[in-house]
Structure 1
Amino acid sequence: MLCILFLSLLTASVIADEKVSSLPRLSDVEAAEAFIEAAEVVVIGFFQGEDSFGYKEFLTSASEVSPLPVALCMEKEVWAKYSVTSDTISIFRKADLHQENLELSRAKKLESDGLTRFFQINELRYITEYNPVTAVGLFNSEVKTHLLLFINRGSTDFAVLKERLGALAPEYTGQFLFVLVNGGLKSNDRSLGYFGLKSRDLPKVGIYDGNLDRKWLLPPGEISTERVREFCQSFLNGTLQTDVFVE
């Protein structure tokens, strides 16, 4: 038993070391731009050197957040491009065109577990699944309007609707955050109830305006790309005048 445990720990350590050793080193602005453009969410650790405060913790966390792309950068030319002036860990998101910075000089204490949570909180994608961790990042984003897909995971149309709305989301970058709410989870009952919904009513699509604390539901019918697009445009045009609930 001890031998098996030792081999398991050794294997985990080797996998972690392999990911750390394979982290891209961004040597110029062109490389950084290409890295950021290649994925919906990426992380870059801007460090003066390997002895910088938080460097080791960053490497440990990088091994735990697969498949989130992570890179290192020590080139000051790149720092200037992204307004970094001291050792900083930055998360770049396409969903709301945001750069979330953790300036390490402001951190009194830094642990790898805390960094991992920082990554998970801020990992907002074109369509982000709602849970207690991502909720923090969603509500902290400067984009306060959410397009929500309420659907039961495992339903026959789950994959199709998730893909359909995920493909639509880039059209509304900076205007909406697209959020998936799994109606099959008891922990999401409150979110459904806020819209007057129960799990049996799903799938449904809604809009939540965090600035006004108001919500609307897409009227009954097919959840097609065009209908959802029209729903979003109606909100942006100011023609959604009243809250809509299912009967």
Structure 2
Amino acid sequence: MTTRSLLLLALLSLCSVWADDEALVNDEGKGGEAEGKSEEREKKFERPLPPKDESRTVRLLNNVTSAKDFINGAQVTVIGFIKDLESIDAEAFNEVVRTVRNLPFAVTYNVAVWEKYNITKNTISLFKKFDEPRADYQFEDGGLASNLTPILQFLRHNEMHLVTEYNHMDASQIFGSRIPYHLLLLVSKKSEKYQPLLKKFKAVAPEFKGKVIFILVDTDLKGNNRVISYFNVKEVDLPVICLFYVLTESVDVIKATEVTPESIRKFCNDFMKSNEKSTEPPPKPPSEEL
């Protein structure tokens, strides 16, 4: 990767939060609706974390109340609806938990909980308090264990906001998603154009989920001046929309003053089509390269 790509990665990224580690499952909501599964059956989930990681837990949900409490407890939560905790899919789910360190996880085989959330087959559900409230990843018996890449991509893509505001908290998500197309709206949040532009920008984002990351860059923040400079944008040109392709370092910029959802859609599709011949994988997050 060239110096120019590394520069943008450094500007928009922090260390990745995806790492290998152990996970702990606590038994939640025993009683009323619990089905009396044996301790031996659930034992493989009980793997203590180091003291500093006590908040990293995977909860075993045994009733609807504990499931509701878990979902309401964070902005983004993940529940594995897995029929058999002795299955290879349960082992695979635990591997996902070890890998995805930034999300809270729970697991349940409880019939009442499955019925409450209209689950009919093995499913990993991601719940959010913003944008789309829920996304489901269904799999057949043995399907999760056969390949973890699809579920990891599913979680990375669906945990994000439709429009991710660039800051030091969310920067790791941008490149941790491994999505190579980044569409940036550079605009002052104090501008009267901000809300109308954001509405148009956000309206198109669902169509490109998993393909293009939509990023808001507040040009009022001094720390974002480096991003503006990277795209050779002058203050007089703002607001603008910039599209960047990580693999080839291709960049295109359009004025945002007269854009519509249709023109943003066309801008993305045309740019992606012009770069579709590049088949190299996206780069790793900077923490793994620098």
Superposition TM-score, scaled by structure 2 size: 0.48
Whole-angstrom CA distance in 2 between matches of 1:137 and 1:201: 28
Letter in 2 for 1:53: P
> Does structure 1 retain, via aligned residues, the 8 Å contact 2:200–2:261?
yes
**1:74-223 matched pairs, under 5 angstroms:** 75=82, 77=84, 80=89, 83-86=92-95, 88=97, 90=100, 91=103, 99-100=151-152, 123-219=159-255, 222-223=258-259
Say which is worse superposed, 74-83 or 50-59, in terms of deviation: 74-83
> Does structure 2 retain, via aligned residues, the 8 Å contact 1:151–1:202?
yes
Letter in 1 for 2:76: P
Which protein, 1 or 2, shows the higher relative CO under an 8 Å CA cutoff with sep ≥ 6?
Answer: 2
Say which is worse superposed, 186-195 or 149-158, in terms of deviation: 149-158
Gaps of 5+ in 2: 1-27, 35-41, 58-68, 104-125, 138-149, 277-290
- Deviation by residue 1:44-89 (Cα, 9 ceiling, x = unmatched): xxx9689542484136xx99x9751325558464882894244826
Q: 1:57 aligns with which of 36, 55, 59?
A: 55
Whole-angstrom CA distance in 1 between matches of 2:91 and 2:205: 25
Instruction: Say which SS state the counterpart of residue 93 (structure 2) adopts.
Output: coil
> Does structure 1 retain, via aligned residues, the 8 Å contact 2:45–2:94?
no
Letter in 1 for 2:75: L
Whole-angstrom CA distance in 1 between matches of 2:259 and 2:167: 23
CA drift of 1:229 comes to 1.1
CA drift of 1:182 comes to 0.7
Whole-angstrom CA distance in 1 between matches of 2:73 and 2:189: 22
Letter in 2 for 1:84: F
Gaps of 5+ in 1: 1-20, 28-46, 102-118, 241-247
> Does structure 2 retain, via aligned residues, the 8 Å contact 1:49–1:74?
no
Whole-angstrom CA distance in 2 between matches of 1:83 and 1:133: 28
Shift of the 66–224 alpha-carbon distance from structure 1 to 2, 3 Å rule, reads: farther
> Does structure 1 retain, via aligned residues, the 8 Å contact 2:240–2:257?
no
CA drift of 1:173 comes to 1.8
Whole-angstrom CA distance in 2 between matches of 1:77 and 1:124: 30
Whole-angstrom CA distance in 2 between matches of 1:231 and 1:138: 20
Letter in 2 for 1:88: V
> Does structure 1 retain, via aligned residues, the 8 Å contact 2:237–2:255?
no
CA drift of 1:185 comes to 0.6
Q: How many residues align?
A: 176
Residues 1:227 and 2:227 aligned together: no
Q: 1:69 aligns with which of 60, 71, 76?
A: 76
> Does structure 2 retain, via aligned residues, the 8 Å contact 1:147–1:205?
yes
Whole-angstrom CA distance in 1 between matches of 2:91 and 2:272: 30
Letter in 2 for 1:209: Y
Instruction: Say which SS state the counterpart of residue 153 (structure 1) adopts.
Output: coil
Q: 1:237 aligns with which of 259, 273, 278?
A: 273
Instruction: Say which SS state the counterpart of residue 211 (structure 2) adopts.
Output: coil
CA drift of 1:221 comes to 5.0
Instruction: Say which SS state the counterpart of residue 191 (structure 2) adopts.
Output: coil
Whole-angstrom CA distance in 1 between matches of 2:247 and 2:275: 17
